[in-house]
């Protein structure tokens, strides 16, 4: 079945540093790879996504890279700010299975 692994489970960085979260997936038919941010008491919110015909996508401080051969994609956040602190989920597969999540803490 579909499997999505996400690492690390927790990540703590100093404000201004970069953060990288990686996901691997098993469904080779996957063609859509979103990243969601979930803050306490809220539903997940899409922050960036990428499709399989693109290798990299950027949106200001956030970027996603995709390696279809290796079946992994990564979220890159530069110049982190305290408001980036949240749980981040990747997702992949025909049934959009979510990774286990990464709790990011940005220390001022």
Partner 1 sequence: DTEVTQTPKHLVMGMTNKKSLKCEQHMGHRAMYWYKQKAKKPPELMFVYSYEKLSINESVPSRFSPECPNSSLLNLHLHALQPEDSALYLCASSHIDLGNEQFFGPGTRLTVL
Q: Is 89 among the residues that bind partner 1 (CB under 8 A)?
A: yes
- For the chain, the distance separating the N- and C-terminal CA atoms, rounded to the nearest angstrom, is 41
Q: What's the closest the beta carbon of residue 16 comes to partner 1, in angstroms?
A: 28
DSSP code string of 33-83: EEEEEE-TTS--EEEEEEETT-SEEEETTEEEEEETTTTEEEEEE-S--GG
Q: Is 94 among the residues that bind partner 1 (CB under 8 A)?
A: yes
Give the per-residue contact string, 20-49, with partner 1 (x = CB under 8 A; - = no): -----------xx-x-x----xxxxxx--x
Q: In this complex, which beta carbon is closest to partner 1, that of residue 25 or of residue 36?
A: 36
């Amino acid at each position: 079945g579909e499997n999505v692994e996400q690492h690390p489970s927790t990540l703590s960085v100093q404000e201004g540093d970069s953060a990288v979260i990686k996901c691997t997936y098993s469904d080779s038919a996957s063609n859509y790879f979103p990243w969601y941010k979930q803050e306490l008491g809220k539903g997940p919110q899409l922050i960036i996504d990428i499709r399989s015909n693109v290798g990299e996508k950027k949106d200001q401080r956030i970027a996603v890279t995709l390696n279809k051969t290796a079946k992994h994609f990564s979220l890159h956040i530069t110049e982190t700010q305290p408001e980036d602190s949240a749980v981040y989920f990747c997702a992949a597969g025909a049934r959009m299975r979510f990774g286990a999540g990464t709790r990011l803490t940005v220390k001022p």
